[in-house]
Amino acid sequence: METFPAESKFDPRNTSGAWTVEHSHTITYEVRICKGLLDLENPVLAESCLSRQDREHQVLIVLDDAVNEIYRQEIHSYFVHWGLVPSYMVLEGNEGTKDVESAMKVAARIGEVGLLRRSEKVVVIGGGVVMDVVGMAASLFRRGVPYVRVPTTLLGQVDAGVGVKTGVNYGDHKNRLGTYYAPACSLIDPTFLSSVPHRHIVNGLAEVVKMALVKDAALFNLLENSLLQLSGGGFGSHSPIHGEIIRRSVSGMLEELEPNLHESNLERIVDFGHTFSPSLELIADPPVLHGEAVAIDMAVCVALSHDRRLLTEQEAVRVYRLLTGIGLPVSDGLFTPELLVKALNDTVKHRDGKQRLPLLIGIGKADFFNDVSSFELHKAVRSVNRLEKLAVGPVLPEQRQAAEA
């Protein structure tokens, strides 16, 4: 009796001794905005943790320290109310936590709790650092256990919490070790933002501005017209304006990520602001937050775009006014031409031998360039200083209308 069909490419009667293995893997996960996740009558979070109705479910809940301090009792009451058996782990939500050792501690805790491999989940509730660490641990433990993300910061809700990348810092490099591993779902509850310190709201807004600059001019206009409302309390209220800002940011990000989840194409417009910023994040003292470094990087790239006449001076000043109006920095003394050259050279390795540098060709549009010289980077530093001075003062409605005309 023949074990292999004659047409099988693995038929042992084939004497070539060479095989090609092909397999496609479908990735499906949900990103959902759901207000009031911890309300006892809201089943969404509990249902995301249930896969079998014939047994009691355990769940490992990993919290960052800020979430643990504010919401621990509320979180515990919720899971007990829904008949789940929670175990806990708390991590500090800062860059010092983002290392291999922290990921291994999470893996050890998963083993201690004894979660079933497929039907019981890890739930991470916190900011981007903790989500990255837990995601990496989940991807490694038994080569992949399911996890649920609940991002509680604005940066997490519009950026770190919606894709499939996990990662930790290694040596002198940001996110040098990591995996692509999708969560079972990512649940975005804007009410968490009411308790987020203002600096961290501003930090998240850098990624919102990024999406506006590279693909959504309407979002840019909305941000300009809502400057005085961009607070944690505002986002926590999930008003129509704040809801639209988050929806546009998330949908724009997902539209870019979905066809390229594993970054087979290294030309990614969502890398705008992420060429020079990793170098600054790792050496700044006092430390800068991720979004603050991204804002400074974006300011450099806007200067490059302006110097190349891809962006008018009115447009460049308009961008600087929005960034500074939000409260984001546009310059840093550590961003010397020498650091920019070094950072770009390192990015070329990350982008497989090309700069693939996203620059603006108008507000809401971007393109890629591979020929930025060290001379241009020296010039860009001077241009940043000049544009920053021109941008002093608020964006007035008549100025915005003139820029749009």
* Annotation says 35 is catalytic: no
Q: If you ran DSSP here, which 8-state letter would residue 162 be given? A: T
d(CA 195, CA 172): 32
Q: If you ran DSSP here, which 8-state letter would residue 95 be given? A: G
- The residue annotated as part of the active site, out of 165, 174, 210, 215, is 165
Q: 308 to each of 194, 311, 355, how far by Cα in Å?
A: 41, 8, 16
d(CA 145, CA 140): 8
Written as six digits, the tokens of 360 are 């603006």
18 — phi, psi (to 5°)? -135, 135
Written as six digits, the tokens of 181 are 């591993």
Structure-derived torsion over alpha carbons of residues 206, 208, 212, 218, reported in degrees to the nearest 10: -130
Contact call for residues 317 and 375 (beta carbons, < 8 A):
no
Written as six digits, the tokens of 13 are 């009667």
Contact call for residues 294 and 210 (beta carbons, < 8 A):
yes
d(CA 22, CA 69): 48
Contact call for residues 403 and 314 (beta carbons, < 8 A):
yes
Q: How many other CB atoms sit within 10 Å of the CB of residue 396?
A: 10
Burial class (CB in 10 A: 0-12, 13-18, 19+), 207: buried
Q: Which residues contact 381 (CB under 8 A, 6 or more apart)?
A: 300, 303, 335, 336, 337, 340
d(CA 394, CA 210): 20
For the chain, give the number of residues: 405
Q: 404 to each of 32, 136, 310, 318, 400, how far by Cα in Å?
A: 34, 44, 16, 10, 6
Q: Return the active site residues.
A: 165
